[in-house]
Structure 1
Amino acid sequence: MEFVLLLVALVFSLSIIFHKSISIIKNRPKHHLPPGPSGYPIIGCLLEMVRNKPTFRWMLDYMQSFNTEIACFRLGSVHVITISSPELALEFFNVQDSIFAARPGNMTGRLTSDGYLSAVLAPGGKQWKKMRRVIVSEVLTASVHEFLHGKRCEEADHLVRYVYNQSNTGVTVNVREAARLYCGGVIRKLVFGKRFFGAGTEAGGSGFEEREHMEAVWSILSYTYGFAIADYVPFLEVFDLDGHKKTLTNAIKNLRKYQDPEIDNRIEMWRNGVRNTNDDILDILINLKDSNNNPFLSAEEIKAQVIEMSIAVIDNPSNVAEWSMSEMIREPRILERAIKELDEIVGKKRVVQESDLPKLNYMQACVKEAIRLHPVAPFNLPHVSTEDTVVSGYFIPKGSHILLSRLGLGRNPRVWDEPLKFNPDRHITNGSSQVVLTDSQLKMWSFGVGRRGCPAILLGSTIMTLLLARLIHSFSWTPLSAMPLIQDSDLNPFLADPLIAHATPRLEPQVYQSLI
């Protein structure tokens, strides 16, 4: 590590000749930058970023120590602005959205999206507009959502069947594993029309292929915009000083090993006339045409977009389900209230269906509370300032990376009473109001706002709520006698240890028999 730090400092020192702003500083801004650590000449706080892992905790600890809801960390020549105030968030992502709607170009985003070919990770411009239009107008429409309803139901049924098989053998259930099994099955079924890349296990669990695929997904999620040195000093990418490039490249390779052959084979089936009916999202993407009736998307664009969809659908729902279950098992009053609502609306003679979800207001509140208190990522994906501007009296230079703290927003004591307490009732303002998972005031971050807001609100809300509802309604859950303390992991906002509990069927026996 000392060698890495020394090499970083040496390379930066040699790079001084490339920084014209060091010798002459012109047109100083009238406003100050947001508060932040002073850092060193040239390299800024890059050494602190390398030393203090995970970087997000170092940043949030600094903000807490200095009691500020906005801070500036200079990493190399890049100003990274972190925010934990809903008012400031609205100023950045609503009032001045036109200035901050772009993404920064960097190593991790480029590698993950195969050169910015997909919708979410593309910095902006024609390619982003093209892929965003495809996702919004062709893939995430209400009609496609309804068209794929049956596939989502198949995976929800498989989840219940999988947990039921484990409960019958007396085996404890790893809730994290079950939730990820469901989420992985859903996205594979929606995109490829299949649950598994391999044969799966006899009990219905993931086989080697799915486990390797899922490990690649989570590795990409953790490394995408994971504070790699090369993201802030691009010419250091060749050295891969922190190993981010190697790890990310290997994860992408493992993901593509399973996905790309499926895509190539499907394209060939359509080309040869073997397939002639749209059955899933992959078919939709392949059959989009331009004005000359030629394929609208290249194979490379389809593969990059499928990678993005694969990592986007899995993270939030599985994290919400595990954290919600952990909090509700710890607080039986909340669990009993959720079960009562489910029994009143659904009963015990069938499983929860998507059509029930709008009536499950308390269940929606539990999901929203888990998103608030236990977000899957510490920050949103970064935005970049396309011009110099001023926000709330602070100067924000062109090229600044803007990171909104999901943890800081959701746990802001100025905004939330008892912010560290899991309390779904805080989202039910009166007895008749319908709970929605979005928050236009940005007191918490769920699906975002503005031009970069997540277009998958309907799909994401459906998957998250149905997953939690199926687990709670179909089974009674008993924690292990030595259930670990519920706390964040040191490395990320996940539960430190997977939730493992005993599941006991609670519906009529014929319900489970119909799923076998």
Structure 2
Amino acid sequence: MENQTPDLPSFNTTTLFISTLQMIGIGYPSTPFNICLFLVILAVIFIFVAECAPSGRKKTNPVLLPPGPKPWPLIGNLPKMLKNRPVFRWIHKLMEEMNTEILCICIGNVHVVAVSSPDLGREFLKKQDAVFSSRPKTMASDLTSSGYLATIFSPLGEQWKKMRRVVTSEVLSPARHCWMHDKRVEEADHLVRYVFNQCTKAVSGLGLVNVRVAAQHYCGNVIRKIILGKRFFGEGMEDGGPGVEEEEHVEALFTILGCLFSFCVSDYFPFLRGFDLDGHEKVMKKAMASIKKFHDPIIKTRIRQGRDGEKEANDLLDVLIRLKDADGGPLLSEDEIKAQIVELMIATVDNPSNAIEWALAEMLNRPETFQQATEELDRVVGKDRWVQESDISQLSYVKACAREAFQLHPIAPFNVPHVSVSDTTVAGYFIPKGSHVLLSRPGLGRNPKVWDEPLKFKPERHLKDGSEVVLAEPDLRMLSFSSGRRGCVGVNLGSTVTTMLLSRLLQGFTWSMPPNVGSIELAESAGNLFLAKPLLALARPRLAPNLYPDPQN
């Protein structure tokens, strides 16, 4: 008779874990003590189950992973991750302490690989982009994409391929970009009106402008106009500023961005999602409820109008509704349309606004950069008309200022994670299937091996070869827009919005420090890469009065 492994008790780990928690009276962990106790119990249960399980695998020699802190069995570096928040600063500190441009931390059974070298970045996202072409499944990305129905956050598969084709060919194609030109110009004009009205409120003609508000809501206005055909959900403010509806909408978008890929415990231990240990799920659901409150009634009405032939296509929502499949039916479901619209909005509202707030802050501390930028605008455009998108190709120094802001002050510490679909080797290191690869935006943009004086604002560094300045960086010496097979398909839109935002602010107004401020403090927020304090600056109109709208109109 053959040797047989005796039957062992069957364990439902989740049930056992929850029962144990209830038995000792913890319930849902929230305090630091309970979370620590929670993790200890978790480790004990998994070790117990692992010890009871039959061992049918042959042991293999350990492989060489990228350098990183030594993980605990089963839970990996989770305790250190929980102790060191925000996690992105801990990761960057580890890379600095270990003097490495590639780092591996283990959270549960997931290998998180951080990279700060352009050479390594190209290996991951160019040479082996087919291997690193999927996305992780996380709580925030699941809620944002309504169950992975859109493009950015969907794992590799047929749904991603379908939506990628739609976005590339129908939404963000060069032809569609031209089609939406007039709507973008309307919002550039509206930006001028809003800032000008801040100036006219003051007797001195100097308006104290919250640049963050102006920049974020310009981006919000642009994306609402080209997708939904409207600037405001409500009436807006008399001076052209956002109303309470737009403030809530943009705040919800940034809340979602803050929760995406923020190292939630449940992203690495999915069966813990219902416990909401980090509190992010509650925050995400509230933000998504705000978004749906504004989007859903418009989308439902348009679907009825569009499919009944009552309305011509005037914006991207109309375009999505009118797409047909091979049988002549709607190509996209209502849920797919809703999910894709949310993704388009969060992908547009953050990067340009953050870059331009930082650019103006840096330029206020270096007045000579203002002079060079305005001299270029006056030379290329003149002072008797407003800068237009057709001028962008000639505005090398203005774009260099924006590019420098992307390099020094990225919107996020990492790109959207790339997940390996198979085992592979990069730079002699083993990268297991399922690894999450993160390119460090500040690590690339501030790499002293790549950039001279990397922490100094030097727009001129991007003008050396005399060729046209572009905001994207295909060689991954910085990461303004994501690259590779899962790269950003909205580079044209993002570059246009960024350049027009900075160009209109510089051409239309002379900027100076607020009263009693000698220099702008260029400090990052503790929990993200935003400027710690929203930028306040004085603006004075610098063109002829007839070019500006009547006050409050």
With structure 2 as the length reference, what TM-score do the two structures score?
A: 0.90
Query: 1:446 corresponds to which residue?
Result: 480
Is 2:90 the partner of 1:58? yes
Query: 2:175 corresponds to which residue?
Result: 143
* 1:41 CA drift (Å): 1.9
* 1:31 CA drift (Å): 4.0
Letter in 1 for 2:306: W
- The CA deviation string for residues 26-85 of structure 1, in whole angstroms up to 9 with x for no partner, is 463664101101132211111111121110000000000111000001011111000001
Query: 2:12 corresponds to which residue?
Result: none
* 1:388 CA drift (Å): 1.1
CA shift in 2, pair 1:66/1:24, >3 Å: farther
Moved more, 481-490 or 372-381: 481-490
Residues 39-438 of structure 1 mapped to structure 2, 5 A cutoff: 39-170=71-202, 171-275=207-311, 277-430=312-465, 432-438=466-472
Query: 2:39 corresponds to which residue?
Result: 8
Letter in 2 for 1:72: C
Query: 2:10 corresponds to which residue?
Result: none
Measured in 2, the distance between the counterparts of 1:273 and 1:456 equals 29
Residues 15-30 of structure 1 mapped to structure 2, 5 A cutoff: 15-16=46-47, 26=58, 28=60
Measured in 2, the distance between the counterparts of 1:252 and 1:281 equals 21
Measured in 1, the distance between the counterparts of 2:301 and 2:197 equals 34
Measured in 1, the distance between the counterparts of 2:40 and 2:356 equals 44
Which residue, 502, 506, 509 being the options, matches 2:545?
A: 509
Measured in 2, the distance between the counterparts of 1:336 and 1:195 equals 33
CA shift in 2, pair 1:23/1:380, >3 Å: farther
Give yes or no for contact 2:219–2:353 (8 Å, CA) kept in 1: yes
Letter in 2 for 1:213: H
Give yes or no for contact 1:9–1:43 (8 Å, CA) kept in 2: no
- The CA deviation string for residues 265-321 of structure 1, in whole angstroms up to 9 with x for no partner, is 11112234331x110000000000011110000000000000001100000010011
Letter in 2 for 1:270: G
Measured in 2, the distance between the counterparts of 1:423 and 1:155 equals 29
Letter in 1 for 2:509: F
CA shift in 2, pair 1:477/1:6, >3 Å: same
Measured in 2, the distance between the counterparts of 1:77 and 1:287 equals 44
Give yes or no for contact 1:29–1:395 (8 Å, CA) kept in 2: no
Give yes or no for contact 1:387–1:399 (8 Å, CA) kept in 2: yes
Measured in 2, the distance between the counterparts of 1:9 and 1:91 equals 38
Query: 2:25 corresponds to which residue?
Result: none
Measured in 2, the distance between the counterparts of 1:513 and 1:298 equals 42
The number of residue pairs the alignment matches comes to 514
Which residue, 495, 507, 519 being the options, matches 1:461?
A: 495
CA shift in 2, pair 1:24/1:332, >3 Å: farther
Measured in 1, the distance between the counterparts of 2:43 and 2:470 equals 48
Give yes or no for contact 1:478–1:501 (8 Å, CA) kept in 2: yes
Measured in 1, the distance between the counterparts of 2:115 and 2:477 equals 12
Give yes or no for contact 1:13–1:42 (8 Å, CA) kept in 2: no
- The CA deviation string for residues 163-200 of structure 1, in whole angstroms up to 9 with x for no partner, is 00001112410000000110000000000000011111
Give yes or no for contact 1:442–1:448 (8 Å, CA) kept in 2: no
Q: What is the aligned-residue identity percentage?
A: 51
Letter in 1 for 2:208: T
CA shift in 2, pair 1:60/1:31, >3 Å: same
Measured in 1, the distance between the counterparts of 2:50 and 2:383 equals 69
Measured in 2, the distance between the counterparts of 1:25 and 1:64 equals 37
Query: 2:9 corresponds to which residue?
Result: none
* 1:513 CA drift (Å): 3.3
Give yes or no for contact 1:367–1:465 (8 Å, CA) kept in 2: yes
Question: Aligned-pair RMSD on alpha carbons?
Answer: 1.6
- The CA deviation string for residues 232-287 of structure 1, in whole angstroms up to 9 with x for no partner, is 01011111111111111111111111111111111112234331x11000000000
Moved more, 492-501 or 445-454: 445-454
Measured in 1, the distance between the counterparts of 2:267 and 2:43 equals 14
Letter in 1 for 2:546: Q
Give yes or no for contact 2:307–2:321 (8 Å, CA) kept in 1: no
Give yes or no for contact 1:31–1:390 (8 Å, CA) kept in 2: no
* 1:490 CA drift (Å): 1.1
Moved more, 9-18 or 136-145: 9-18
Higher gyration radius (CA)? 2
Gaps of 5+ in 1: none
Give yes or no for contact 1:108–1:224 (8 Å, CA) kept in 2: yes
Measured in 2, the distance between the counterparts of 1:495 and 1:122 equals 30
* 1:503 CA drift (Å): 0.5
Give yes or no for contact 1:173–1:502 (8 Å, CA) kept in 2: yes
CA shift in 2, pair 1:417/1:77, >3 Å: same
Letter in 2 for 1:77: N
